[in-house]
Structure 1
Amino acid sequence: MKKSYDIIKLGSILLFVLMLVLTLSQAAAANVQIRAGRLDYQADWIDLEDGVTIFWEEYEIVSDRGEIDRPESITYLYDNVEVAFERGFINSDNLVIYMNEDELVFTDNVFLDYRRGQAEDDEDEGEERLELSSERLVYNTEAGTFDFEDDIEIRQAGRTIRAGAGTYNEAEDVFYFRSGVEIVEDDGDRITSETARLDLSEGDLFTAEGNVEIELQM
């Protein structure tokens, strides 16, 4: 009786692995590996539950549950989402991955922890950390851009920056802020403007434009 049970159990595992391999080969052209506690398979739609881990390109992505639209190569992830990559990680409540477009769309309680200038031989030497929160973030992995919407806040060593929306370009190492920009230095200096540019490659050069006001602590 036990032998029969073991055979059935082994058959179930092999079936799960087979369906997962089929999913990986058809869900997207990129190299994708997926792990989940439970899988419900329905031809063009797959439900993932009880913990999901996805390895896609250089990203490791985890969530509580998810869904895959195979014909469209779109993955939907829900609850406790975290995406880890070389420079840090992103948390949110929801994530939609458009694999054919190299685009990740995070929504609800988005938090980005981003490291800059890390030395190759020392994890801490020369490293600068940025912490950013927003309600929506679109990360294009091909273009290397982060587009933030719905009130963003950046916490950087020595300052806090707030804006209605903004974009960070990895290649340029520049932030572009739009709509109701405010920068507050820890020493009390405060600048407000309509738009602004923060060039991290030029010693954190902050350029504000449009109805600029500044309060200095002399």
Structure 2
Amino acid sequence: MVRLSVNVNKIATLRNARGGNVPDLLQAVRDIEVFGAQGITIHPRPDERHIRYRDARDLKSVVGTELNIEGNPIPAFVDLVLEVAPDQVTLVPDAPDAITSNAGWDTVRHRDFLQEVIGKFRDAGIRTSIFVDPDPQMARAAAETGTDRIELYTESYATHYGTDPEAAVKPFRETAEAAASVGLGVNAGHDLNLDNIAFFARQVPHLLEVSIGHALICESLYLGLENVIGMYKNRLS
């Protein structure tokens, strides 16, 4: 079964909108795990517009499944990850002003930089994953950085799924095969939702984990968190 990691950034966004502690992020994470999530993902950004660095520190003692911290490996982020020591760190090349992640790494061009950063995390016993576009070359080159996994950036799949599902998923299938051929695990995330997740999970081999936040929280406004988490797990099984 593909593991479901719930990204809780949007819960933090809602909390920050009023400046208090409603909704309570830590309690929401506890509940999400009770409802069946197999991991929690957070993506702190330098401006702390949703997840704050303090949240990452607080969640370390709250998360009972797996904690995945995503972000651009600027020095402050690297220091945070080494301090918190999550189960997994996912490296994403997003600019400080990016609304959301919008591209994967060029693992050829940035190989040396990624090797250096990943070496620090590996020395600390933290599993690493690299955000990549659906490109077999990028997956194969990722192995040279020392990473444990790649995370497939799935926006293009979500965009084209409604018109041609097979064409939309084909590059992801090929990239997952390329990653497995060089010994890398495969994660995926970005714009996956209840409508497109089942087909993706059936068609992409070697898939270990999906990270879903925005869609899951939006769907939960209508259907409820507990119900929606169960629906995702059913589609991933």
More strand by share: 1
More helix by share: 2
TM-score range, shorter chain: under 0.3
TM-score (norm 1): 0.26
* Higher RCO by CA contacts (8 Å cutoff, separation 6 or greater): 2
